[in-house]
């Protein structure tokens, strides 16, 4: 190693150590809210399609198979492609640029969904929406993890998630007031999402680039130090004296195609484990979110009552996220993930009874489990990969894992029609617990510097 490269690497180590010594959120609190607004839209759109599809099905005369394909499979294909392509762009060109791109795509897709008048148009815009959604879930977890101090990394990512998950909690109530009431209610539902995405896009121009990315991929140490100095000043104003930095190993000289790092040891093993974990989780996640309303209404319950059960239960989303804000860093992350999946199983068993009072309870517990699991598991996934390939690794993991979501959404109705309502929802409860068991096999991550977790 020549002297210039050696000096650069030493400087990089110093900057990362300065980042890791920060003990509180080092940027304005408004930045968490800005990211949360975008997250709000992401979860709003994940939910709105399930509530819109019964009306779209009737107006477009889709039939159950085509309805499911448009509602879920097209979006998930876009989701997986967008997460990987934009994730790779993020690893090459920065988190900031990629986060602007994702909100632009989702705004375009949402307004296009609202304006669609035939199946091809709806399929195209659901695909575009999926491109943005998949990438944004990836980027938000990565971005917040790279900015947050090790001791509160889980809590900070959940703070933004709390605002985001409100989108999933509020969407059923908005859908209930629009879809059964107005002929074009489903269009209004999508248009509202587009407006939220435009607001989030405008706000994101205030965000800084990730200094970890600047150090690890771009090698722009001067820009990184400028951002880190501002972060230190923010923490010093709140906390007083800063801790002494602890130097960790950082490589700023090797710059290969981001995905190639993911297939090196130990990351290839983590990729296999996390892909399988998400595959099993998404089977139930997308089966419940995409099919529950339709399957309830198909069993003789009215559309408005079916939406009502899910709407009341959706209160569990923010409750679960708030619980995670209190526990995400207090206990080891992978143990928390496992306990979340146990709550999910209980929720599915309760929901599967189809007893009206227990449907409410089961819907609440399922939403509670989703609110607890998602951001903690997203954060854990991002922590397992190195900075230079963090979004690429997350994208491959989440994208391939979403095959489980597509299968779950397509086969849950088949299981229900063949073996009964109780069997179908019990099955997706069990697949969720399998995901929790797999998480237990991963490395520890809570209160550990990113560079050590991903070493």
Give all domains of the chain, ordered by start, each with its CATH number. Answer: 21-242+261-453 (1.20.1250.20)
| 426 C-beta neighbours (distance < 10 Å), count | 17
Q: Which two tokens stand for residue 425?
A: 């929802």
According to the model, what pLDDT value does residue 173 have?
84
pTM: 0.84
Q: Which residues of the chain have pLDDT under 70?
A: 1-6, 63-73, 218-219, 248-254, 300, 302-303, 455
Token pair 């209610």 in the structure block, residue:
185
Token pair 């602007």 in the structure block, residue:
100
Which string of b and e fits 400-409 if b means at least 16 CB within 10 Å? bbbbbbbbbb
Token pair 């599967």 in the structure block, residue:
352
**Listed residue (424, 322, 425, 336) closest to 379, CA to CA:** 336
CA angle 309, 312, 317 (to 5 degrees): 120
CA angle 333, 335, 339 (to 5 degrees): 115
- Give CA separation, 235 vs 27, 153, 158, 242, in Å: 8, 15, 20, 8
User: Mind listing the pLDDT tens digit for each residue in 249-304?
Assistant: 666 656 778 888 899 889 999 999 999 999 999 999 888 887 787 787 777 676 67
According to the model, what pLDDT value does residue 315 have?
86
Quote the CA–CA distance of 402 and 398 in Å, as a whole number: 6
Q: Which two tokens stand for residue 435?
A: 């995901």
According to the model, what pLDDT value does residue 71 have?
57
According to the model, what pLDDT value does residue 3 have?
54
Q: Length of the chain in residues, anyone?
A: 455
- Give CA separation, 234 vs 15, 205, 237, in Å: 16, 20, 5
């Amino acid at each position: 190693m020549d002297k210039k490269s050696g000096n650069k690497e030493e400087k990089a180590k110093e900057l990362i150590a300065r980042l890791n010594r920060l003990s509180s959120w080092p940027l304005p609190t408004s930045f968490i809210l800005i990211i949360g607004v975008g997250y709000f839209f992401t979860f709003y759109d994940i939910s709105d399609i399930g509530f819109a599809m019964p009306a779209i099905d009737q107006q477009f005369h889709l039939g159950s198979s085509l309805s499911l394909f448009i509602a879920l499979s097209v979006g998930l294909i876009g989701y997986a492609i967008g997460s990987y392509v934009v994730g790779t762009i993020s690893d090459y060109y920065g988190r900031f640029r990629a986060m602007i791109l994702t909100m632009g795509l989702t705004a375009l897709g949402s307004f296009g969904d609202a304006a669609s008048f035939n199946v091809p148009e709806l399929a195209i815009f659901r695909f575009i929406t999926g491109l943005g959604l998949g990438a944004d879930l990836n980027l938000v977890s990565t971005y917040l993890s790279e900015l947050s101090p090790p001791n509160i990394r889980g809590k900070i990512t959940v703070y933004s998630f709390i605002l985001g998950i409100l989108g999933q909690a509020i969407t059923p109530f908005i859908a209930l007031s629009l879809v059964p009431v107005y002929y074009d209610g489903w269009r209004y539902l999508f248009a509202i999402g587009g407006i939220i995405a435009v607001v989030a896009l405008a706000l994101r121009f205030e965000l800084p680039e990730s200094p970890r990315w600047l150090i690890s991929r771009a090698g722009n140490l001067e820009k990184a130090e400028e951002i880190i100095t501002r972060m230190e000043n923010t923490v010093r104003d709140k906390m007083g004296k800063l801790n002494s930095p602890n130097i960790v190993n950082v490589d700023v000289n090797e710059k290969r195609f981001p995905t190639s790092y993911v297939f090196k040891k130990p990351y290839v093993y983590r990729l296999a484990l996390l892909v399988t974990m998400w595959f099993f989780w998404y089977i139930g996640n997308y089966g419940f979110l995409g099919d529950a309303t339709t399957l309830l209404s198909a069993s003789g319950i009215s559309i408005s009552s079916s939406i009502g059960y899910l709407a009341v239960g959706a209160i569990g989303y923010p409750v679960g996220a708030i619980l995670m804000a209190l526990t995400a860093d207090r206990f080891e992350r992978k143990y928390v993930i496992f306990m979340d999946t146990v709550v999910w199983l209980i929720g599915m068993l309760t929901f599967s009874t189809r007893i009206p009072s227990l449907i409410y309870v089961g819907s609440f517990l399922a939403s509670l489990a989703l609110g607890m699991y998602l951001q903690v598991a997203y954060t854990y996934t991002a922590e397992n990969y190195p900075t230079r390939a963090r979004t690429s690794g997350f994208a491959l993991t989440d994208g391939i894992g979403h095959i489980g979501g597509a299968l779950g959404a397509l086969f849950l109705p088949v299981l229900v029609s063949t073996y009964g309502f109780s069997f179908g929802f019990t099955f997706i409860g069990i697949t969720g617990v399998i995901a929790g068991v797999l998480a237990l096999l991963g490395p520890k991550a809570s209160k550990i510097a990113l560079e050590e977790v991903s070493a």
